[in-house]
A and B are shown apart, each in its own frame.
Chain A
Amino acid sequence: MKEVKLFIFAIVIVIVSLTSIDFLIGKILDYAMTKLPNFSEQYSKENYRLHRMNEEIVIIGSSRGACHYVTSILSDSIDTFAKKHLSIYNASIEGRFLNSNCCAAEVIAKRYSPKLVIFDISEYQLREDDVNSLEFSAPFYWIDPVVKKYIDETGWKARIAMKSNIVRYNGKVLKLIDEYLHPKSYDDGYLPLIGTFQDTLGITEIKQNQLVNNSVNNLRNVISLYKTQKIPLIFVSSPLYRPSDNNDYLYCLCSENGIPFIDCYNMGEFNSHPEYFKNRTHLNDEGARLFSEELFGRIKPLLPVF
Chain B
Amino acid sequence: MLFNSLQFLLFFPLVCIGYFLLRNNKWRTPFLLIASYYFYMNWNPVYAVLILTSTVLTYACGSLVEKHSNNNNRKKAFLVVSLIINFAILFFFKYYNFINESIFSVLELAGLRWPVPNLDVLLPVGISFYTFQAVGYSIDVYRGTIKAEKNFLTYALFVSFFPQLVAGPIERAKNLLPQFHEEHRFSYDNAVEGLKQMIWGFFMKLCVADVLAEYVNAVYNNVPQHNGTSMVIATIFFTFQIYCDFGGYSNIAIGAARVMGFRLMENFHRPYLSLNIKEFWKRWHISLSSWFMDYVYIPLGGNRVSYPRHLLNLAITFLVSGIWHGANWTFVLWGGVHSIYQVAANIFRKFVYKPQYDVWWSKLLGTAACFIAVAFAWIFFRANNVNDAFTIIGKVFADHGPAYQNLNVFVYGLLGLSILAFKDIKDNYGYSFSLMHSNHVFIRYISTICMILYILLFGSFSSGQFIYFQF
Interface residues in chain A, defined as those with a beta carbon under 8 Å from any beta carbon in chain B: 3-4, 6-7, 10, 13-14, 17-18, 21-22, 25, 132, 135, 157, 160-161, 164, 166-167, 169-171, 173-175, 178, 200-201
Contact = CB atoms under 8 A, between A and B. Distances in A.
A166 B412 contact: no
Interface string B336-358: 00000000000000000000000
The main secondary structure of chain A at its interface with chain B is helix
Nearest to B449: A17
B186 A3 contact: yes
Nearest to B211: A171
Interface in B385-411: 407-408, 411
B225 A200 contact: yes
B411 A174 contact: yes
Interface string B421-438: 000000000000000000
Contacts of A4: 186, 188
B6 A178 contact: no
B407 A3 contact: no
29 contacts: A3-B186, A4-B188, A6-B188, A7-B186, A7-B191, A7-B192, A13-B445, A14-B445, A14-B449, A14-B452, A18-B449, A18-B453, A21-B449, A22-B456, A132-B462, A157-B6, A160-B6, A167-B461, A170-B456, A170-B457, A170-B461, A171-B408, A171-B458, A171-B459, A173-B457, A174-B408, A174-B412, A175-B408, A200-B224
Contacts of A167: 456, 461
Given A157-B5, A170-B456, 7 more contacts: A3-B188, A7-B186, A14-B448, A166-B456, A170-B457, A171-B459, A174-B412
Nearest 10 CB-CB pairings of A with B: A3-B188, A200-B224, A166-B456, A157-B6, A7-B188, A17-B449, A6-B188, A166-B457, A7-B191, A174-B411
B86 interface: no
Nearest to B415: A174
Contact of B6 (A6, A161, A170): A161
A178 B412 CA distance: 14
B241 interface: no
Contacts of B460: 171
B187 interface: yes
B210 to A, nearest CB: 10
Nearest to A173: B457
Contacts of A14: 445, 448-449, 452
A93 to B, nearest CB: 16
Nearest to A174: B411
A3 B459 CA distance: 32
Contacts of A169: 457
Contact of A201 (B5, B186, B191, B224): B224
A189 B462 CA distance: 28
Contact of A17 (B187, B445, B458): B445
Contacts of B187: 3
A6 B462 CA distance: 35
B307 to A, nearest CB: 48
B412 A170 contact: no
Nearest to A199: B224
B148 to A, nearest CB: 36
B243 to A, nearest CB: 22
A170 B449 contact: no
Nearest to B187: A3
B407 A178 contact: yes
Contact of A170 (B186, B188, B445, B458): B458
A200 B457 CA distance: 38
A10 B6 contact: no
A22 to B, nearest CB: 8
A238 to B, nearest CB: 22
Contacts of B462: 132, 135
Contacts of A170: 456-459, 461
Contacts of A166: 453, 456-457
B208 to A, nearest CB: 14
Contacts of B445: 13-14, 17
B461 to A, nearest CB: 6
Interface string B160-196: 0000000000000000000000000011100110000
Contact of B407 (A18, A22, A174, A201): A174
B414 to A, nearest CB: 12
A200 B391 CA distance: 14
Contacts of A175: 408
A164 B461 CA distance: 14
Contacts of B458: 170-171, 173
Given A4-B186, A171-B460, A178-B407, A21 B6 contact: no
A160 B192 CA distance: 25
A200 B187 CA distance: 60
Nearest to A172: B457
A73 B407 CA distance: 32
A173 B458 CA distance: 8
B42 to A, nearest CB: 14
Nearest to B408: A174
Contacts of A25: 453, 457
Interface string B453-469: 10011111110000000
B115 to A, nearest CB: 25
Contacts of B408: 171, 174-175
Nearest to A21: B453
Contacts of A7: 186, 188, 191-192
A53 B449 CA distance: 39
A3 B190 CA distance: 11
Nearest to B5: A157
B451 to A, nearest CB: 11
A166 B445 CA distance: 19
A175 B409 CA distance: 12
A218 B225 CA distance: 35
Interface string B82-111: 000000000000000000000000000000
B412 A171 contact: yes
Contacts of A174: 407-408, 411-412
Nearest to B189: A3
A25 B456 CA distance: 12
Nearest to B20: A4
**Residue from A18, A171, A175 whose CB has the most chain B CB atoms within 10 Å:** A171
A169 B6 CA distance: 17
A169 B456 CA distance: 9
Nearest to B445: A13
Contacts of A3: 186-188
A18 B188 contact: no
Contacts of B225: 200
**Residue from B186, B188, B448, B456 whose CB has the most chain A CB atoms within 10 Å:** B456
B192 A10 contact: yes
Contacts of B224: 200-201
